[in-house]
Amino acid sequence: MERTLVILKPDAVQRGLIGEIICRLERRGLKIIAMKMVQLSEEIARRHYAVHEGKPFFEGLIAYITSAPVVLMVLEGPRAIEVVRTTMGATDPAKAAPGTIRADLALTVDRNLVHGSDGPETAASEIALFFREDELLQYPRDTDRWLMVKP
């Protein structure tokens, strides 16, 4: 099973799209193993987006992500990172495939509703930044047998 971090950004929260976005991810078959709503501090935001430090958009990104509450989730499933990223769509909503979250619900690259980890190492470090190990729940779902083929 693969895990990934998803952040429903301030615009998703402010526009009342939390349920819509979670619904799309759950319908894919991903399991939520942790979730919380928080107001990100500037310190945590800077740590999360450290890879972008020094870029022209960095300070605006920090101001945006700390401007209102966000929803943090850890999702689990086969190829969870790829599934989330495909469901989200391209970073630029104008270039996102129809039917994706960003194509259907967002207009601009700087207000694109959702973040998803881009690889296994990133997912592990992002999850550890926002969640303690004891916050990641393990539980069976009756639907799992219908979503995953076992050898």
Q: Which of 48, 83, 115, 117 is catalytic?
A: 115
Task: Give the number of C-alpha atoms closer than 13 A to the C-alpha of residue 128, restricted to the C-beta side.
Answer: 6
Identify whether 100 is part of a domain.
Answer: yes
Catalytic status, residue 48: no
Q: Name the pLDDT band for 110 (thresholds 50, 70, 90).
A: very high
Whether residue 107 is contained in a domain is answered as: yes
| Residue 14 neighbours by CB under 8 Å, 6+ apart | 68
pLDDT band (50, 70, 90) for residue 75? very high
- 8 belongs to a structural domain: yes
pLDDT band at 148 (very low <50, low <70, confident <90, very high): confident
Q: Flag whether pLDDT at 121 surpasses 70.
A: yes
Residues 6+ away with beta carbon under 8 Å from 135: 34, 36
Q: How far is the CA of 131 from the CAs of 8, 38, 60, 66, 137, in angstroms?
A: 15, 12, 25, 18, 11
CB-based contact 14:68 (threshold 8 Å): yes
CATH number of the structural domain spanning residue 77: 3.30.70.141
- Residue found under tokens 């700390």: 66
Residue 150 scores a pLDDT above 70: no
Q: What are phi and psi of 107, to 5 degrees?
A: -120, -35
Residue 94 located in a structural domain: yes
Mean pLDDT (whole number) for 16-37: 97
**pLDDT for position 79:** 96
- Label residues 65-103 b or e (16+ Cβ within 10 Å = b): bbeebbbbbbbbbeebbebbbebbbeeebeebeeebbbb
Domain annotation covers residue 47:
no
How many distinct structural domains can be found in the chain? Answer: 1
What residues make up the domain containing 32? Answer: 2-39+70-147
Least confident among 5-14, 126-135, 136-145: 136-145
Identify the pLDDT of residue 113: 98
14 has a pLDDT exceeding 90: yes
Mean per-residue pLDDT for 65-75? 98
